[in-house]
Amino acid sequence: MVMERTLVLLKPDAVQRSLAGKIISRFEDSGLKIVAMKMVWCDEKQALNHYPLDEEWAKNVFEKTKKAYDKENKKMEYKDHIDLGKTIQSWLTTFLKEGPIVALVIEGPHSIELVRKMVGATEPRQAIPGTIRGDYASIESYSLADNKKRVLRNLIHASDTLENANKEIKVWFKDEEIHSYKKDIDKHF
């Protein structure tokens, strides 16, 4: 499907650093359409619904993290992807509850892929300049996060697949909170 919706969260560090407006502007500038937006201070249940311990996700996180460790010739202390997944999940829920977040649904052709590209790599240190993480969080790294036994503070979440986008949108928005309206650019799609 070409026309897609994706879920974006401006995590507590983005709100804390007063970056919400700047980040939202980037999505507006792209031509994609914001169809839902609100500020939420979530609880444990909502945080866990957003980051359930899904085996595929844990494998993916494990691979990314291991690659970064290998590059530095550092040994990972985690037994396997489930061990790492559980730790990251608990750090993530603590982080999401730290302060209010801004949740958005962004709609447009290929919006899932485009938004992920604008967001940049998971580890901000690897995120290239011009991406949101690369511009505003680049001093953040796996090693800094690990030393403090905390999650990567990387400002933003964006859905990575259509299946996850559909699930995640439901965690944060009721159907009636998502709006349909026309923009000029729509006539080209």
Q: Is 65 in the site for ligand IDP (CB under 6 A)?
A: yes
Non-local CB neighbours of 91 within 8 Å, separated by 6+ positions: 149, 150, 151
Pairing of strands 101-109, 3-10: antiparallel
Using CB under 6 A, count the residues that bind ligand IDP: 14
Q: Is 160 in the site for ligand IDP (CB under 6 A)?
A: yes
For residue 110, indicate whether it is catalytic. Answer: no
Q: What minimum distance in Å lies between the beta carbon of 170 and ligand IDP? A: 18
Q: What minimum distance in Å lies between the beta carbon of 182 and ligand IDP? A: 31
Instruction: Kindly tell me which residue out of 14, 154, 168, 173 binds ligand IDP, with binding defined by CB under 6 A.
Output: 154
Give whole-number Cα distances, 64 to 51, 68, 160, 186, in Å.
17, 7, 14, 37
Q: Is 165 in the site for ligand IDP (CB under 6 A)?
A: no
Q: Is 173 in the site for ligand IDP (CB under 6 A)?
A: no
Query: Strands, E, within 41-183: which ranges?
Result: 101-109, 156-158
Q: Residue 40 in 3-state DSSP? A: strand
Q: Is 126 in the site for ligand IDP (CB under 6 A)?
A: no
Q: Is 142 in the site for ligand IDP (CB under 6 A)?
A: yes
Whose Cβ is closer to ligand IDP: residue 30's or residue 90's? 90
Q: How many CA atoms lie within 13 A of 69 on its CB side?
A: 13
CA dist., res. 153 & res. 173, Å (int):
24
Q: Is 145 in the site for ligand IDP (CB under 6 A)?
A: yes
Positions touching ligand IDP (CB under 6 A) are 60-61, 64-65, 88, 92, 122, 142, 145, 151-152, 154, 157, 160
Active site residues: 157
